[in-house]
Structure 1
Amino acid sequence: MTRNLTIANRIREVLLDGHWIANTNYKEQILNVNWQQAIQKVDGLNTIAALTYHINYYLAGLLDAFENGKLEISDKYSFDLPQIHSEADWNKIVTDFLNNSEKFASQVEQMDDNNFDQPFIDNTYGSYLRNIEGVIEHSYYHLGQISLIRKMIMLT
């Protein structure tokens, strides 16, 4: 299997359909909470909605960068979650996340294997591979948080 397929499968594993590493994935976690649970604060932790938005912010930003060759996102905006007042608001965030997850995996799947070793936008960001693997690692980190927060909410 080529790198592009291997990496795209890893992306889908954490975001959409896998169980190998964490025995769950984002799709499974976020489709099993309603909007009130998604915005429920547990102690000083981020909400499930905020973490979902946060990962999607980076997916959308990198998809734009793949397309236009410019990285125009900033960490300081990555938690600027819009207000959620209804199930429809939460469903929009979930739908955007799931769509961007599949688009991101598909973009990686279509990459030429040689691109993974090329600088990503600017040499200071490292290679495409480093940034894509960073998305996977970052996603697993926050998936663990979502999973724990969800369990804590279900216990209350």
Structure 2
Amino acid sequence: MKKVILVIIDALASRVVQPALRKGLLPHFQQLIEHGVLSEECTSIFPSITPAATCTLATGAYPFEHGISGAYWYDRDWDEIAYFGSDLQAIMNEGMGRYINDFQIKLNRDRLLVPTIFEYIEQHGSLTDAVVNFMWYRGTVAHETRGYPKTKKRVNSLA
């Protein structure tokens, strides 16, 4: 069984990487390429905003399916603004505790409407997965969290 590593570098473009590889400026990337595969041509989803685009990579679904429309949007079902950007003033207005709860817990638990690749891997049984420093991490193992404020939970199903 082959091992797979998915490296996502936000806003990294082929027009920047290819010349750097040719000049030998990315030796670690070159080693990964030599032992794996590099896809030079890629197509982005719309909107190509980090939360929506990386969620598509983690789920294989388009934004209208997975429920993450961008970095912020008005969520009619919840009657609130969903905000997952990095504007310090907006974060301070919302409150640091609420922002961290929204970003670290609510985003994966409540707003994400479809299964992640990690959930599929864990259901397989004979495969192992791990996530490091990625905003999409939801798996099948429940972990207790303490967040502020308490939020209602949406029902997500692999069915």
Same-fold call, TM cutoff 0.5: no
Structure having the higher strand fraction is: 2
Query: Higher Cα Rg: structure 1 or 2?
Result: 2
Alignment TM-score, normalising by the size of structure 1 = 0.28
Alignment TM-score, normalising by the size of structure 2 = 0.28
